[in-house]
């Protein structure tokens, strides 16, 4: 089998350009409760993109995941599964988007590994926290007790997950913009994920450090960002890459080891032309 230098270069470029996954990180889950607003609906649709399979985590202090589930199922037309069990590779198999909002329970190493493989395989994780000072009480039918600060606890869970995924992003332990606010104008950063969004409703939020900013709070700090994650090379891609590298190496060795006779033959046309 002969592989030209040009074909080898193409194979290497093709292997290096394997599709990547991404993490979309928000310091606030309020946008999931505002999906009747065009800007919020547009952003959530942009995050899904051309995908049509969504898993929504039930690990949450909030009812926001149910709102996201309804939106993706009925408005975006995706097949949606609400996952109340541990996250596994099989649960994320063939899925385009994994949505997790305001997590209540820390994830195990196995769950983090499954999510990491999902992302590096080309999937999108849409992960949200809340403001540090967010409070919570048990929803009905449990007895309603005093409000308990839990925002800081969920932020720690989110950050542990991000660290396990190798992300450069994390949520700050802070609280910005109490009450409902709308990101507009320069607070909406130009990006493919914000295309078509002219107003984005959010609420009490923590800020996000790292990643590419998408939406900015009133003080200019990012509260929603995105990070692209490199994909894992498939075995076929690795094989092609090895073949291309071998072809280039063989071509280089042939040039270095050319015999005196070959060199003389190469010189004949120039001698004749002179």
> 141: cis peptide before it, omega within 30°?
yes
**What's the rounded Cα separation, in Å, for the pair 180 and 197?**
17
Alpha carbons 114 and 91: distance in angstroms, whole number: 9
- From the list 115, 118, 116, 153, the residue with the least C-alpha distance to 136 is 153
With pLDDT > 70 as the criterion, what percentage of the chain qualifies? 74
In this predicted structure, the answer to whether residue 274 has a pLDDT above a threshold of 50 is no
> What is the rounded CA–CA span in Å between residue 236 and residue 15?
9
| Calpha distance 153→117 (Å, rounded) | 25
Burial class (CB in 10 A: 0-12, 13-18, 19+), 268: exposed
Could you tell me the pLDDT band of residue 272, with boundaries at 50, 70 and 90? very low
Q: Which of 15-29, 41-55, 108-122, 170-184 has the lowest mean pLDDT?
A: 15-29
pLDDT digits (tens, 9 = 90+) for 165-224: 999 999 999 999 999 999 999 999 999 999 999 999 999 999 999 999 999 999 999 999
Q: What is the pTM of this model?
A: 0.79
Contact (Cβ atoms closer than 8 angstroms) between residue 177 and residue 183:
no
């Amino acid at each position: 089998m002969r592989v030209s230098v040009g074909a080898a270069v193409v194979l290497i470029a093709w292997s290096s350009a394997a599709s990547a996954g991404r993490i979309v990180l928000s310091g606030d889950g309020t946008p999931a409760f505002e999906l009747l607003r065009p800007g919020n609906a547009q952003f959530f649709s942009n995050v899904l993109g051309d995908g049509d399979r969504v898993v929504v985590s039930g690990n949450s202090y909030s009812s926001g995941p149910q709102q996201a589930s309804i939106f993706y199922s009925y408005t975006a037309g995706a097949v949606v599964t609400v996952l109340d069990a541990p996250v596994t590779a099989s649960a994320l198999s063939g899925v385009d988007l994994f949505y997790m909002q305001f997590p209540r329970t820390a994830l195990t190493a196995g769950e983090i590994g499954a999510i990491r493989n999902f992302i590096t395989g080309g999937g999108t994780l849409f992960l949200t926290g809340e403001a540090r000072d967010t409070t919570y009480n048990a929803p009905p039918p449990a007895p309603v007790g005093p409000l308990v600060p839990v925002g800081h606890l969920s932020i720690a869970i989110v950050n542990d997950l991000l660290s396990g995924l190798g992300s450069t992003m994390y949520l700050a332990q802070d609280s910005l913009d109490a009450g409902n606010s709308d990101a507009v104008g320069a607070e909406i950063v130009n990006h493919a994920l914000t295309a078509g969004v002219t107003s984005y409703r959010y609420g009490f939020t923590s800020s996000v450090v790292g990643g590419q900013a998408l939406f900015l709070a009133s003080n200019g700090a990012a509260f929603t960002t995105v990070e692209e994650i490199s994909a894992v090379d498939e075995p076929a891609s690795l094989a092609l890459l090895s073949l291309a590298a071998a072809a280039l190496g063989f071509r280089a060795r042939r040039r270095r080891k050319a015999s005196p006779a070959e060199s003389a033959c190469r010189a004949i046309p120039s001698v004749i032309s002179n």
